[in-house]
Chain A
Amino acid sequence: MTQPTINDFHTILPMIVLSVWACLLLLVDLFIPKDRKGITALLAALGLILSLGFNLTRIGMESVGFSGMVVLDGFATFANVLLLLSGLFGVALAYGYVRRMGIERGEYYTLLLFSVCGMMLMAQAADLIIVFLALELLSIPLYVLAAFARGDMQSQEAGVKYFLLGAFATGFVVYGTALVFGATGTTSLGGIFAAASAGASTGSGNGLMFTIGAALILVGFGFKVAAVPFHMWTPDVYQGAPSAATAFMSSGAKVAGFVALLRVFSTSFPALASDMNGILWTLSALTMIVGNLIAIAQTNIKRMLAYSSIAHAGYILMAFVSYGNPQVASVSIASGMFYLMAYTLTNFGAWSVVVALEKAEGKGLEIADYAGVARKHPALAAAMAVFMLSFIGFPPTLGMVGKFYLFRAAIAGGYTGLALIGVLTSLVSAYYYLRVVVNMYMREGELVPEREPWLGFATALTAAATVALSLVPQWVFLLASTAVMK
């Protein structure tokens, strides 16, 4: 039994800082009066910024901690920055929203912090036990956040549905993990790879167990990132949950899920690439097609964005199909990380507009309600137009650059058909994204957006970043390339 050393703690310092902060915040929150819960929000944001600061000092560092259970590398650092930014945007969107909707309680922010902790642990996990632990740490607070509007029946329903499907998916992940453990005798990601390469030469009967295990892990994470056909829960949960919570879970949980998938599959299962390619290809194509087609029929903006998030999971899966091909794997992982960043910024921007326009009792959530917003509030409408264009992949936005990199990586990996499906579904998606813009600019209406400083700041920042970063894409792509695992 080895004692933990200081290096072990250094490896996961940003996550430790955040989890300790979250525990303290839970206590401090008791002494903050009911009508001053904004202080809790500010303290939560401070904790996230502190953790982000520690995380930024870790750029370029590489280490392994706790007997190889956790790892710190460029991939983890990049993902952590993205996840902490998601947390900050999540707090900014919630700040005014929860008060306005009468669901302001300090636990909201504590739960959000714990969830971010789980996501960061997920990015740093180097062992399937930690992957499972992180998965639960990120999911359980999200179940509660989905049901946070206790008096609202839709929110309760969203919480229960998310919980039942999430627990179901967890069952698959752990069963798969157990089979992989049985086949290889280890749960360490690197150890699994070593055992699989050694076992391939002896040709033992464990191969089948190994493949089934990996496939079950894929199914479980398919649920988490909302890939078709494991997406059924997404629209209901995204619609029912409070909008600020949905914004956070649709970005943070998706980033964490994909980060874990990328890490686990490219570290442990390269040997299975030939079996998995077809499955991943089908998953990606189905997710893009089904997500985009059903989104057309939606009239509720939250539901439309839910299907849009499903469709975007399909695009990101595209980066994932060629994970076992050493020539293109690093470029496609970098493209995937780039797209995750583009998606996070755009998604938070779009949800911040939804939050600004939502009224009590679920009013102002129909796309038709958005009519006439441009006349009285040109800045807000322009920001929404930027986000919608970025979702479509229209220049000059980050979404366009992201899709360009993804399609290029897919073609380089020899999946021209998949890239073609991507282009065609993007064209289809223009229909329902532009409908929002058309409603805002060309119809008459009376909807008045809420004016909240942090919310407006988040909208402006994400809109500016979506446009500005697309002008220096090679610089950002270089940053994403540092995130490629060795």
Chain B
Amino acid sequence: MIPLSWYLILAAGLFSIGLFGVLVRRNAVAILLGVELMLNAVNINLVSFWRYGDVLKMTGQVFAIIVFAVAAAEVAVGLALVISVYRSRNTVIADELDMMKW
């Protein structure tokens, strides 16, 4: 059987790729994709912790379902916000959202 740590490393890698995407990409939609990768890393963690822990307790699985349900709701709102920006500016590049500066 594959050891638990492999799954955790995979999840940590995925989380880091998502984090990198959020910090480096300039397109708002791409940033959103990065966030989704971070949340999916969490799901891998949750399900593998469940599988390698107490299999009769469903906490990990239930949590994973809640995470992706909530992530879907978040994306629905997020894309709507991005579209409303796109309509008035014809761009979704985060760097160009700079009307306010300190």
Contacts and interface: CB of A to CB of B under 8 A. Distances in A.
Q: Which residue, B46, B57, B73, has most C-beta atoms of chain A within 10 A? A: B46
B17 interface: no
Contact of B100 (A147, A181, A239, A297): A239
Interface stretch (A18-26, A48-56, A160-168, A275-283): A160-168
Contacts of B66: 129, 132-133
Contacts of A294: 102
B59 A187 contact: yes
Nearest to A154: B99
Interface stretch (A169-177, A222-230, A392-400): A169-177
A161 B57 CA distance: 38
B22 A168 contact: yes
Given A143-B78, A159-B81, A182-B45, A174 B102 contact: no
A229 to B, nearest CB: 14
B99 A153 contact: yes
Contacts of B45: 175, 178-179, 182
B77 A163 contact: yes
A298 B100 CA distance: 12
Nearest to A129: B63
Interface residues of B, number: 41
Contacts of B24: none
B93 to A, nearest CB: 11
Interface string A224-246: 00000000000110011000000
Contacts of A161: 97
Contacts of A144: 77, 81
Contacts of B49: 178, 181-182, 185
Given A156-B88, A175-B41, A186-B59, A297 B74 contact: no
Interface in B33-82: 35, 38-39, 41-42, 45-46, 49, 53-54, 57, 59-60, 62-63, 66-67, 70, 73-74, 77-78, 81-82
B81 A143 contact: yes
Nearest to A300: B100
Given A132-B66, A136-B73, A236-B100, A147 B81 contact: yes
B99 A170 contact: no
A186 B85 CA distance: 41
Nearest to A176: B42
Nearest to B44: A178
Nearest to B48: A182
Contacts of B59: 129, 181, 186-187
Interface string A279-295: 00000000000000010
Given A164-B28, A185-B54, A235 B84 contact: no
Contacts of A435: none
Given A133-B70, A140-B73, A181 B102 contact: no
Interface string A347-386: 0000000000000000000000000000000000000000
Contacts of A403: none
A152 B60 CA distance: 43
A24 to B, nearest CB: 20
Nearest to A186: B59
B62 A129 contact: yes
30 contacts: A129-B66, A133-B66, A133-B70, A136-B70, A143-B77, A153-B99, A154-B100, A156-B85, A157-B99, A157-B100, A159-B81, A160-B28, A160-B94, A161-B97, A164-B78, A167-B32, A170-B74, A174-B42, A174-B67, A175-B15, A175-B41, A177-B42, A181-B60, A182-B8, A182-B49, A182-B53, A185-B49, A235-B102, A294-B102, A297-B102
Contact of B84 (A150, A236, A297): A150
A303 interface: yes
Contact of A163 (B42, B67, B73, B78): B78
A147 B8 CA distance: 37
B42 A171 contact: yes
Nearest to A182: B49
A186 B38 CA distance: 21
Given A147-B81, A156-B88, A181 B41 contact: no
